[in-house]
């Protein structure tokens, strides 16, 4: 099995957690896309659910798959959210998310969900968060240079705002920018999260400590289910 096969297996396992009548948060990214596709098949077979997507792209995929959508105007509590991650710390299950630039809506949906199921292939688990992935930070465009300076003083390396593949400054679904912060391995995830939260200009960051209720890790041989 290649990485995409593993992502698909994890995604399909997680889609099986969804029961009739549930309100479901739909994550963003290539692994979440497999889950949306599978849920669409289950809806076509008669599964009755409503979903809230975490990005414009996932909303588009859900509509194409025939999944009925709802919003926070009607549902402030979700039964389950299923999403990918960029890193999962073994043991704690703290996460880094946001390389797909959807971290703000992803965190709002995850926090509003009774169960938050994270689906990853075997390349995502790490011993210490920050080993490989930067921490994406969503910031208000106004004064972002000053916000970046403050993050750099916290040890975030030299920050360049994220750009699209075409080389243009990336704008999130919320009209903001992403600053990718390279802190390296993070000793105290909650302390760093609090420090970034306290920075003027920051809207949200991609550290998700103590949020996952289940992590499904698909290897070539099996799907492991980790719980906190």
Binding mask 63-102 for ligand 5RP (x = CB under 6 A): --------------------xxxx----------xxxxxx
d(CA 189, CA 154): 13
51 and 78 Cβ atoms separated by less than 8 Å: no
Distance between CA atoms of residues 82 and 11, nearest Å = 8
Q: Least distance to ligand 5RP from the beta carbon of 127, Å?
A: 19
Contact call for residue 57 and ligand 5RP (CB under 6 A):
no
Residue 29 within binding range of ligand 5RP, rule CB under 6 A: yes
CB of 225 to ligand 5RP, least distance (A): 18
Q: Which of residues 13, 15, 24, 31 is near ligand 5RP by CB under 6 A?
A: 31
Minimal CA–CA distance to 13: which of 112, 106, 91, 121? 121
Shortest Å, Cβ 146 to ligand 5RP: 25
Centre a 10 Å sphere on the Cβ of residue 169 and count the other Cβ atoms it contains. Answer: 12
| Residue closer to ligand 5RP, measured from CB, 103 or 148 | 103
Q: Pairing between strand 23-26 and 50-53? A: parallel
Binding residues with ligand 5RP: total (CB under 6 A): 18
Nearer to ligand 5RP, 30 or 174 (CB): 30
Using the Cα atoms of residue 98, residue 102, residue 107 and residue 109 in order, give the sign of their dihedral. negative
* 111, 52 Cβ separation under 8 angstroms: no
Question: C-beta of 30: minimal distance to ligand 5RP in Å?
Answer: 3
89 is catalytic: no
107 binds ligand 5RP (CB under 6 A): no
Q: Are 51 and 66 in contact (CB under 8 A)?
A: no
Catalytic residue among 87, 106, 138, 204: 106
CB of 101 to ligand 5RP, least distance (A): 6
* Residue showing the smallest CB distance to ligand 5RP in the complex: 100
Q: Which residues of 105-138 are buried (b: 16+ CB within 10 A; e: fewer)?
A: bbbbbbebbebbbbbbbeebbbebbbeebbbbbb
Active site amino acids: 106
Residues making contact with ligand 5RP (CB under 6 A): 27-32, 83-86, 97-103, 106
């Amino acid at each position: 099995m290649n990485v995409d096969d593993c992502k698909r297996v994890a995604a399909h396992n997680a889609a099986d957690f969804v029961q009739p009548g549930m309100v479901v948060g739909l994550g963003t990214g290539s692994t979440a896309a497999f889950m949306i596709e599978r849920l669409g098949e289950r809806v076509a077979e008669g599964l009755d659910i409503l979903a809230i997507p975490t990005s414009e792209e996932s909303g588009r995929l859900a509509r194409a798959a025939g999944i009925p959508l709802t919003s926070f105007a009607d549902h402030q509590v979700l039964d389950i959210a299923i999403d990918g991650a960029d890193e999962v710390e073994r043991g704690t299950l703290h996460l880094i998310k946001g390389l797909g630039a959807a971290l703000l809506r992803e965190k709002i949906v995850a926090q509003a969900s009774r169960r938050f199921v994270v689906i990853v292939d075997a390349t995502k688990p790490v011993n210490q968060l920050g080993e490989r992935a930067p921490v994406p930070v969503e910031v208000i465009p106004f004064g972002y240079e000053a916000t970046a300076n403050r993050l750099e003083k916290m040890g975030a390396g030299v920050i360049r705002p994220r750009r699209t593949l075409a080389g243009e400054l990336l704008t999130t679904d919320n009209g903001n920018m992403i600053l990718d912060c390279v802190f390296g391995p993070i000793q105290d995830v909650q302390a760093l999260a609090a420090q970034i939260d306290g920075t003027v200009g920051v809207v949200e960051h991609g550290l998700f400590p103590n949020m996952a209720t289940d992590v499904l890790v698909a290897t070539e041989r099996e799907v492991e289910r980790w719980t906190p």
